[in-house]
Amino acid sequence: MKKFLLAVCVVLLAAGVSFGADVIRIGVVATVTGQNAFGGQLELEGMQLANKIYPEALGKKIELVVVDNKSDKVESATAASRLIENDKVAALIGPYGSGPTMAAGEVAEVAGIPLMGTACTNPLVTEGKKYIFRACFIDPFQGEAAANYAYKNLGYKKAAVLTDVASDYAVGLASFFKANFAKLGGAIVADLKYQSGDTDFTSQLTEIIGKEPDVLFIPAYFAEGAIIMKQGFELGAKFRFMGGDAMDNPEIVTLGGEAVEGFLHTTFAYDPTMPEMNAEAKAFTEAWKQEYPGKESNANAAMGYDSYVLLYQAILSAGKAEPQAIRDALENMKNVATVTGLTSFSAESHDPVKDAGIVEIKDGKKSYIYTINP
């Protein structure tokens, strides 16, 4: 029995490290366990779908090497290091969220391996980095887009903000929303805080209700955001709720019921309910339906897909799958069609200028209603 077990272990080990000669390896620091697993899983499925559609470049098979990061920063750095040194990947696709991407990015930068961030919207991620790119827009733009839409399109003059102070994403986005809303001439009537993991928001909400804002901006992750809306609904809040890209969840109506009716959030410019899709988005939506029947896609899945496509295009235009060549090709990338719009990078900025979308929950359905151009 012991011998048999030993043999099984040896076989498993050997199988685990199978090497192929004519393969381009792209490493994925995936977030499939831990607190951000939901968004991370959709991203990964997006990448795997893209890998299925574009399986080869330069006559070589592209292989995704997936390593989980437990939604943890230290693990992200170790995972990136493992992919670079052990699996000899040509490029990396970053984990979910800005903090882990920064940790993985530091490793990639030192090793000289290009890293494509998926939905890391914190401006610091690419700041001062040569090898770090991202497929998404950054929070200053998202905050501005949300403020513009609330003030100009909806005519709201009084806004309240409820921020998760423990989340870099929420703090950044809230600050850019407040600055832009005030600049437009609106008033921030309440600016309250909570901590990730809180479950009772009634005291903050009661205070906000007393201030009578037109709109409450909650740059939250879905777990807390859904509870905030539910408790606000129960307290009889009259104002509108508005959130950011992290509130994008295909299950929002099932989970939130009537409490989420009328909820608005900014997102990356893709949603399966989009009325006018570009060619890439149409292809993505179709392919997703076939690959994962019964499962809704969302902007996270699109960002995962786009990140892969951007690296794929860079490998094609570089003509070789070497890290330095891919990096240079990425930096010179101009108007590549992706699901979430045209993507360009330059030597000055590794942050693409992209549209933002507005999603509204109307009549118990999630619908993409508006595109904001930068």
Partner 1 sequence: MNGTGTRARSGLLNLLPLAALVCFLWWAPANLDGYKLRVINLIAINAILGLSLNLIYGMAGMFSLGHAGFMAIGAYVSALLILTPEQKVTMWILEPIAPWLLNLHTPFIVSLVLAGLAAAFVGWLIALPVLRLGGDYLGIATLGFAEIIRILIVNLTPLTNGSLGLKGIPAHTDLWMSYGCFLVILVFVARLMGGNFGNVLRAVRDDEVAARTMGIDTFRVRTLAFTLGCFGAGIGGALMGNLITTIDPKMFMITQTYNLLMIVVVGGLGSITGSVIGSVLVTTMLEWLRFVENPITLGSLHIPGIPGMRMVLFSVLLIAIIIFRREGIMGTREFSWNWFFPPKNAPRALPDEGGRGR
Rounded to the nearest 5°, which phi and psi values hold at 133?
Answer: -125, 170
Widest distance between CA atoms in the chain: 76
Residue 335 CB-density burial (10 A; 0-12 exposed, 13-18 middle, 19+ buried): exposed
CB of 33 to partner 1, least distance (A): 4
* Helices 139-148/168-184 angle, 10° precision: 40
* C-beta of residue 76 within 8 angstroms of C-beta of residue 28: no
Shorter beta-carbon distance to partner 1: residue 25 or 366 = 25
Q: Of the candidates 26, 50, 84, 259, which one interacts with partner 1 according to CB under 8 A?
A: 84
5 binds partner 1 (CB under 8 A): no
Tracing tokens 């052990």 back to the chain, one arrives at 86
CB of 138 to partner 1, least distance (A): 11
Residue 318 C-beta-side C-alpha neighbours within 13 Å: 22
13 binds partner 1 (CB under 8 A): yes
Contacting range for partner 1; rule: CB under 8 A; set: 81-89, 327-335, 346-354, 361-369 = 81-89
Question: Can you name the residues that pair with 42 across neighbouring β-strands?
Answer: none
348 binds partner 1 (CB under 8 A): no
Rounded to the nearest 5°, which phi and psi values hold at 351?
Answer: -110, 115
Q: CA 331 → CA 255, 309, 343, 348, distances in Å?
A: 41, 15, 11, 9
d(CA 124, CA 128): 8
CB of 16 to partner 1, least distance (A): 4
Contacting range for partner 1; rule: CB under 8 A; set: 80-88, 183-191, 256-264, 292-300 = 80-88
Q: Can you give the length of the chain in residues?
A: 374
Q: Of the candidates 106, 261, 296, 328, which one interacts with partner 1 according to CB under 8 A?
A: 106
Binding string, residues 194-233; x marks residues near partner 1 by CB under 8 A: -x--------------------------------------
Shorter beta-carbon distance to partner 1: residue 225 or 341 = 225
166 binds partner 1 (CB under 8 A): yes
Contacting range for partner 1; rule: CB under 8 A; set: 49-57, 123-131, 230-238, 326-334 = 123-131
165 binds partner 1 (CB under 8 A): yes
Shorter beta-carbon distance to partner 1: residue 125 or 318 = 125
Shorter beta-carbon distance to partner 1: residue 82 or 289 = 82
CB under 8 Å to 71, separation ≥6 — which residues?
31, 33, 34, 35, 36, 37, 40, 95, 96, 97, 100
CA pseudo-torsion sign 357, 284, 250, 38: negative
CB of 80 to partner 1, least distance (A): 9
122 binds partner 1 (CB under 8 A): yes
Count of CB atoms situated within 10 Å of the CB of 80: 29
Shorter beta-carbon distance to partner 1: residue 77 or 315 = 77
99 binds partner 1 (CB under 8 A): yes
160 binds partner 1 (CB under 8 A): no
18 binds partner 1 (CB under 8 A): yes
Give DSSP secondary structure letters for 273-314. T-SS--HHHHHHHHHHHHHSTT----HHHHHHHHHHHHHHHH
Show contacts with partner 1 in window 19-78 (CB under 8 A).
30, 32-33, 66-68, 70, 72-74, 77-78
142 binds partner 1 (CB under 8 A): no
Contacting range for partner 1; rule: CB under 8 A; set: 124-132, 141-149, 229-237, 357-365 = 124-132
Shorter beta-carbon distance to partner 1: residue 3 or 334 = 3
* C-beta of residue 303 within 8 angstroms of C-beta of residue 268: yes
Show contacts with partner 1 in window 288-307 (CB under 8 A).
none
d(CA 159, CA 157): 7
Residues that bind partner 1 in the complex, under the rule CB under 8 A:
11-13, 15-18, 30, 32-33, 66-68, 70, 72-74, 77-78, 81-82, 84-86, 99, 102-103, 106-107, 110-111, 122-124, 127-128, 165-168, 170-172, 175, 195
